[in-house]
Amino acid sequence: MYSKYIYIIILPALFITGCTNQPVTEEVNLYTARKEHLIRPLLNIFESDTGIKVNVVSAKTKILIKKIIDEGKTSPADLLITVDAGNLHKAKMRGISQEIKSDKINNLIPENLRDKDGHWYGLSIRSRVIMYNPNNINPVEIMNYEDLAKPALKDRVCIRSSSNIYNQSLLASLIHYNGEKSALAWAKGVVNNFSRDPKGNDRGQMAAVVLGKCDVTLANTYYLGKWISSKKDTEREYAKKIKVLFPNQVNRGSHINISGVFVTKNAKNKDSAIKLIEFLASDRAQEIYAKKNHEYPIRQDIQISDIVRSWGYPFKMDSMNLTELGVLNDKAGMIFDKAKWK
């Protein structure tokens, strides 16, 4: 009689013990518009440190945002990494991000580099600087972004299309500081100074400066870093023939933007997603990422690459909250249209 009762009691205990010994693998699903090889070394460290597996889907920002919207509540995406505060704000406005609360993240990431409502966070900084041919232009002529609209630069400026998010955010910053009327006058002035119709990417503009098709352009700093460290002889030679100027150093500082991240509205692994953001904002991750991609870390106490330091660091950065770049993006688009900036 006793043995029967003991058997009945012990059997459930053995069953429960067996269940709790089953391994449970945590994971987080990352959609990224940044190339995976740029962030994979960091993800490997995170996986090793935490045991959380990171599954990656890479594509362009527009494709990933559409994918998240189309997938709806069934979307496996927990986070999205993309570039530019304008893109991050658009994602927020389309309702695919969510507010997160983490004292650790807020302490690591400066206030001006994160959304005012806690929806997105900056992970790295790039500055949109003036690059020029030192044989053809005196840097005194181009000390401010506003100088690119002056008549002295007639037929000497090449620049990307108005559809480019980097240019949209720069113009948004000019609206913020100078007002819409002045921003329109600036855009019209730059258009009048075009040496050719806008075409190509940042490196295409830089190459045009080197090849004498124009004297000055705007580009993100890390593209020059890629040229300097390139395995291609041509790109390394090009890098020797172009100079970097950080505009507006005597007033508001040079325009900056970010690569950034948000947790998706329907994230299934929210806690793991927040842990990944906390890791990417850590000193260790910031130094690795900044050196690998020739970007600036989100805090100035982090080591940067020697190449980036050679351009002059620290420099005065515009301190406006980057949320405003997203808020003013639509106005920037309308001003580009009025200025007939293609």
Q: What is the pLDDT of residue 292?
A: 84
Q: What is the pLDDT of residue 50?
A: 96
Separation in Å, CA 244 to CA 89, 252, 295, 315: 29, 18, 14, 12
Long-range contacts of 179-182 (CB under 8 A, 24+ apart): 180/331, 180/335
Tell me how long the chain is.
342
Q: In this predicted model, what pLDDT tens digit does every residue of 42-74 receive, in sequence order? A: 999 999 999 999 999 999 999 999 999 999 999
Q: What is the pLDDT of residue 37?
A: 84
Q: Which of 320, 331, 19 is nearest to 183 (CA)?
A: 331
**Ranges in the chain, pLDDT < 50:** 1-23
pTM for the whole structure: 0.89
Please state, in angstroms and rounded to a whole number, the distance separating the CA atoms of residues 254 and 218.
12
Are both 27-125+258-310 and 126-254+326-338 of the same fold?
yes
Please state, in angstroms and rounded to a whole number, the distance separating the CA atoms of residues 135 and 270.
53
Contact of 298 with 150, CB cutoff 8 Å: no
- What residue segments make up the domains of the chain, in order of their start? 27-125+258-310, 126-254+326-338
Q: In this predicted model, what pLDDT tens digit does every residue of 151-202 receive, in sequence order? A: 999 999 999 999 999 999 999 999 999 999 999 999 999 999 999 999 999 9
Please state, in angstroms and rounded to a whole number, the distance separating the CA atoms of residues 336 and 270.
39
What is the third-level CATH fold of 126-254+326-338? D-Maltodextrin-Binding Protein; domain 2 (3.40.190)
Return the CATH architecture of domain 27-125+258-310: 3-Layer(aba) Sandwich (3.40)
